[in-house]
């Protein structure tokens, strides 16, 4: 992990200038956007759908609520939130990348998810929303890619309503050494090859594997959330800690 305010930062295992990371991440998602959903299903054997369903279940979403799905990409969470908040609620699908947003908007419209969803191109570090705007904010598999994670955590806290909650769904650290070894083998030997065959892009999936290893582990992310000002922060491991769901509240 390297989120300090010096002038270099991790981009996977490479050190790059802080000012460069956003455009490098943008290139990754520009490149994978069209094949993003099919690769997600293949890479996770479909399990990402269960992780996302569990996130919705833990969100406390109710009719009429206002939800921000930041780094929402192709909109899996947005689609489920849209049904749950109903016509009197609203879901904002926001992402820094116009290619991901476009794939998301087309997919959701094809599925008839219309009426209560708004699409906004936005950076998690500098959210273009009023203070105290949202009942729920989710960021799924997005925080890992953000240059200044502390700034993004503060920005999300600012736009959260008092009583609202943030849910961070992200790859994390497997709890068992055996699982960790198998996961390493899969990530570094199989994933990039799969990326090459399906998306003609091994590099982006090599970045995926590296960025996961560089992301803060469960306890570190928990304390980053507490430092940013979230309260009652907790997390739950899923699939043996391959993924963790962190939750924190604004009071
Ligand atoms: C792995 S995708 C996750 C998409 C979706 N949330 C999901 O779970 O399938 C990560 C997304 O984060 C977006 N992203 C990266 N940096 C961001 C930032 N600073 N602000 C907002 N979105 C960002 C990328 O454009 C990409 O769409």
pLDDT average, residue stretch 188-216: 91
Confidence of residue 89 (pLDDT cuts 50, 70, 90): very high
For ligand 1, the distance from its centroid to the CA atom of residue 120, given in whole angstroms, is 13
Please state the rounded mean pLDDT for residues 153-159. 98
* Residue 72 CA, closest ligand 1 atom number: 6
Residues 121/125/131/135 CA torsion (nearest 10 deg): 70
pTM for the whole structure: 0.95
- Any bridge partners for residue 139, and if so which? 70, 168
Domain that holds residue 144: 34-175+207-246
- CATH value at residue 54: 3.40.50.150
- Is residue 147 situated within a structural domain? yes
Residue 188 domain flag? no
Residue 195 within a domain: no
pLDDT higher than threshold 60 for residue 5 = no
pLDDT at 3 exceeding the cut of 70: no
Dihedral of CA atoms 19, 21, 27, 28 in degrees, nearest 10, equals -170
Residue 15 counted as domain residue: no
Domain count of the fold of the chain: 1
Residues 6+ positions from 132 with CB-CB distance below 8 Å: 159, 160, 161, 162
Give the model confidence (pLDDT) of 130-142 as tens digits: 999 999 999 999 9
74 is in an annotated binding site: yes
Please tell me the distance between residue 182's alpha carbon and the centre of ligand 1 in angstroms: 26
The answer to the question of residue 13 being in a domain is no
The whole-number pLDDT of residue 4 equals: 53
């Amino acid at each position: 992990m390297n989120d300090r305010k010096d002038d270099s930062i991790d981009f996977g295992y490479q050190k790059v200038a802080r000012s460069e990371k956003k455009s490098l991440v943008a290139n990754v998602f520009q490149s994978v956007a069209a094949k993003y959903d099919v690769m997600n299903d293949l890479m996770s054997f479909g399990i990402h759908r269960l992780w996302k369903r569990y996130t919705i279940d833990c969100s406390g979403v109710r009719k009429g609520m206002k939800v921000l799905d930041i780094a929402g990409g192709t909109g899996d969470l947005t689609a489920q939130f849209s049904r749950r908040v109903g016509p009197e609620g609203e879901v904002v699908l926001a992402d820094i990348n116009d290619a991901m947003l476009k794939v998301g908007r087309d997919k959701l419209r094809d599925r008839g998810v219309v009426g209560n969803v708004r699409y906004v191109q936005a950076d998690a570090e500098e959210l273009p929303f009023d203070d105290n705007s949202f009942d729920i904010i989710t960021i799924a598999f997005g925080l890992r890619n953000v240059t200044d994670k502390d700034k993004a955590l503060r920005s999300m806290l600012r736009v959260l309503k008092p009583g609202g909650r943030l849910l961070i769904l992200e790859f994390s650290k497997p709890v068992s050494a055996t699982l960790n070894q198998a996961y390493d083998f899969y990530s570094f030997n199989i994933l990039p090859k799969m990326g090459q065959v399906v998306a003609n892009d091994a590099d982006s999936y090599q970045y995926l594997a590296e960025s996961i290893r560089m992301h803060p582990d469960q306890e570190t992310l928990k304390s980053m959330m507490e430092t940013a000002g979230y309260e009652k922060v907790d997390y739950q491991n899923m699939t043996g800690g391959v993924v963790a769901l962190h939750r924190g509240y604004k009071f």
